[in-house]
């Protein structure tokens, strides 16, 4: 695996790429506020280079995630399209209709199941478990589900994980995601299927979307993935043999950022220990070169 070179701004490497696949949570916002430099950088790339496809492990269809970006003030100029783990998960869920499915997750994730003709049930009647996260991610952790999972293990129900992330940043806190529950289920001996990063289906959808917008096939050497999560963003891009910009100030910020900024030795060590590689690294996503009055690159 390659060790990253430091950059200050996306403009330093933009001419190497025709497409950006950018993570959302941890790169352009933290659930409470947008990161304006990152939004500016993506808008500049979209105007001067090519499509920016947001690739998110949100367990809801993209159409239901866009309002969150709008509410945070993320400019529509910063992205061309969005593909979510929810989009990929709906394809897999449709194969199981009419159900029954034990849906674990908060009420806000209900759009994932809309229109699929599934029979949502409790664990007693279910033939499949679908997890979008804890029922209450403010108070619960994966361990709160251990007893329930142990009780149904003899039935050998497969679990479909709609968000492979283990944690996500919400303000200054790390919140458990569906991936943490799926990991527990797998550790107990259960069968787990994933739809989002780092698995191939979501990348296939993103590249197809980029090619549709370009109107031509894209050279995979000219696709840049941007993300902060090593198990998902970094390993997913590595598995697809795509270049990566590691945004170290996301979920690993407490470990990698200090008074002098990004500790490159620590970032390289963390990637190496995790078995991940990146071509580039930065504290956060930015565009440090000149911008037009409208916000794009010159």
- Annotated domain spans of the chain: 5-86+198-240, 87-194
Question: Do 230 and 238 touch, CB atoms closer than 8 A?
Answer: no
Answer yes or no: is pLDDT of 292 > 70. no
Lowest pLDDT segment from 13-17, 112-116, 168-172: 168-172
d(CA 21, CA 56): 10
CATH for the stretch 87-194? 3.40.50.1000
More confident residue, 178 or 295: 178
Interval 67-98: pLDDT, tens: 999 999 999 999 999 999 999 999 889 988 88
| Mean pLDDT, residues 106-127 taken together | 93
Which two structure tokens, joined as six digits, stand for 148? 């329930």
Give me the pLDDT at residue 298, please.
Answer: 45
Highest mean pLDDT among 2-6, 183-187, 230-234: 183-187
pLDDT tens digits, 186-205: 999 999 998 889 999 899 99
Backbone dihedral angles phi then psi of residue 13, each to the nearest 5 degrees? -125, 0
Work out the mean pLDDT of the chain and round it to a whole number.
92
Q: Is the pLDDT of residue 214 over 90?
A: yes
| 34 in Cβ contact with 73 (< 8 Å) | yes
Query: Mind giving me the DSSP string for 251-285?
Result: TTHHHHEETTEE-HHHHHHHHHHHT---SEEESS-
pLDDT of residue 294 exceeding 70: no
pLDDT at 128: 96
Tokens of 30: 């933290």
User: Edge-to-edge strands of the sheet including 81-84?
Assistant: 5-6, 280-282, 243-247, 223-227, 19-22, 52-56, 81-84
Distance CA 208, CA 231 (A): 23
Q: Tell me whether domains 5-86+198-240 and 87-194 share a fold.
A: yes
Six token digits for residue 248: 């170290």
| Euclidean distance between CA atoms 222 and 16, whole angstroms | 6
| Stated pTM of the model | 0.83
Neighbouring-strand partners of residue 19? 223
Candidates 147, 125, 143; CA nearest to 134 is 143
Residue 251 CA, chain-centre distance (Å), reads 12
Instruction: Tell me the CATH number of domain 5-86+198-240, given options 1.10.3720.10, 3.40.50.1000, 3.40.50.170, 3.50.50.60.
Output: 3.40.50.1000
Q: Which has the minimum average pLDDT: 15-19, 46-50, 164-168?
A: 164-168
List C-alpha distances in Å: 32 to 72, 195, 199. Answer: 7, 26, 27
């Amino acid at each position: 695996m390659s060790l990253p070179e430091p950059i200050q701004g996306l403009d330093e490497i933009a001419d190497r790429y025709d497409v950006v696949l950018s993570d959302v949570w941890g790169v352009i916002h933290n659930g409470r506020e947008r990161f304006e430099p990152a939004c500016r950088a993506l808008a500049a790339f979209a105007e001067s280079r090519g499509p920016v496809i947001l690739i998110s492990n949100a367990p809801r269809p993209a159409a239901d995630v866009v309002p969150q970006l709008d509410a945070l003030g993320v400019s529509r100029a910063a992205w061309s399209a969005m593909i979510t783990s929810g989009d990929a998960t709906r394809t897999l869920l449709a194969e199981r209709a009419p159900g029954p499915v034990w849906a674990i997750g908060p009420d806000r994730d209900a759009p994932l199941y809309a229109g699929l003709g599934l029979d949502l049930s409790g664990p007693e009647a279910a033939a499949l478990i679908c997890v979008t996260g804890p029922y209450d991610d403010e108070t619960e952790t994966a361990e709160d589900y251990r007893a329930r999972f142990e009780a149904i293990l003899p039935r050998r129900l497969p679990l479909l994980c709609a968000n492979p992330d283990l944690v996500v940043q919400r303000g200054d806190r790390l919140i458990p995601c569906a991936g943490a529950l799926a990991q527990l289920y797998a550790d107990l001996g259960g069968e787990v299927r994933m739809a989002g990063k780092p698995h191939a289906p979501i990348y296939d959808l993103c590249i197809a979307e980029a090619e549709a917008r370009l109107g031509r096939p894209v050279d995979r050497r000219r696709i840049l993935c941007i993300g902060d999560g090593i198990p998902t963003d970094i390993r997913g891009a590595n598995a697809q043999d795509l270049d990566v910009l590691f945004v170290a100030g996301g979920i690993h910020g407490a470990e990698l950022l200090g008074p002098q900024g990004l500790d490159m030795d620590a970032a390289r060590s963390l990637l190496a220990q995790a078995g991940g590689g990146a071509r580039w690294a930065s504290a956060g996503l930015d565009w440090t070169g000149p911008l037009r009055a409208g916000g794009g690159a010159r």
